[in-house]
Amino acid sequence: MSDNETRLLKAAQGGDPKAFERVLRPHLPMLFAYSRAICGDFHAAEDVVQETAQIAYRKLNFLIPEADFAGWLKAIARRQALAARRRLTKTSLVADDMIEKVYQDPSPASSGRRGEALTECIDSLEGRAAQAVKGHYFDGVKLNDLADRMGMTSVAMRQLLHRVRVVLLECVRRRLSAESPS
């Protein structure tokens, strides 16, 4: 935990909501992605993040100075997201241990060369692939609605998103291998 974070946390524990907002803000993207990975729904994940922030603020005095703030937030979000998943009666997406492994590092996933490469690859998407990624990931449009909007069946939409994943994977691999010395 950085000195700045420690200082802000102390202020937040003293009842300063602005300090809490500042210390929370950098962790929100990770919390949102983590919650969505668990509960499988864009809007429910937003709710989970809000609930997590409220619980964290109320119980901030229970956070000991040496504790990992991001890990603590994740633990709260996990409970809320699991509850949301049950409410939504969603099938468990993938093994939970895999989610934990991928979200082990709380720092932004887009940092680092691989993350940057993926960001560039996403920017280079065009046409229906770009539309699908924007609708599904950025706007949180339900899959069936998105399929309707794009004049496709939901099966075709699922296949399109699968192809996009594969394309992005290849794109990142190409970029990284082009950069690495042969």
Residue 147 buriedness (CB in 10 A; 0-12 / 13-18 / 19+)? buried
Task: Report phi then psi at 63, rounded to 5.
Answer: -85, 115
State which of residues 32, 129, 130, 131 lies at the interface with other proteins (CB under 8 A).
Answer: 32
The residue (of 4 and 73) whose beta carbon lies closer to other proteins is 73
> Minimum CB separation from other proteins for residue 85, in Å?
9
Q: Look at residues 158, 150, 154, 152 and name the one whose alpha carbon lies nearest to residue 127.
A: 150
Examine residue 149 and tell whether it contacts other proteins (CB under 8 A): no
SS3 for 66? coil
State which of residues 7, 10, 149, 165 lies at the interface with other proteins (CB under 8 A).
Answer: 165
> Minimum CB separation from other proteins for residue 181, in Å?
17
Residue listed under structure tokens 């992005």: 168
Helix, strand counts (H, E) of the chain: 10, 0
State which of residues 8, 23, 44, 132 lies at the interface with other proteins (CB under 8 A).
Answer: 44
> Minimum CB separation from other proteins for residue 7, in Å?
18
Q: Which of residues 46-105 bind other proteins (CB under 8 A)?
A: 46-47, 49-50, 53-54, 57-62, 67-68, 70-72, 74-76, 78-79, 82-84, 86-95, 98-105
> Minimum CB separation from other proteins for residue 140, in Å?
8
d(CA 157, CA 87): 25
Residue 93 buriedness (CB in 10 A; 0-12 / 13-18 / 19+)? middle
> Minimum CB separation from other proteins for residue 57, in Å?
5
d(CA 10, CA 2): 12
Q: Which of residues 114-143 bind other proteins (CB under 8 A)?
A: 114-115, 118-119, 122, 133, 136-138, 142-143
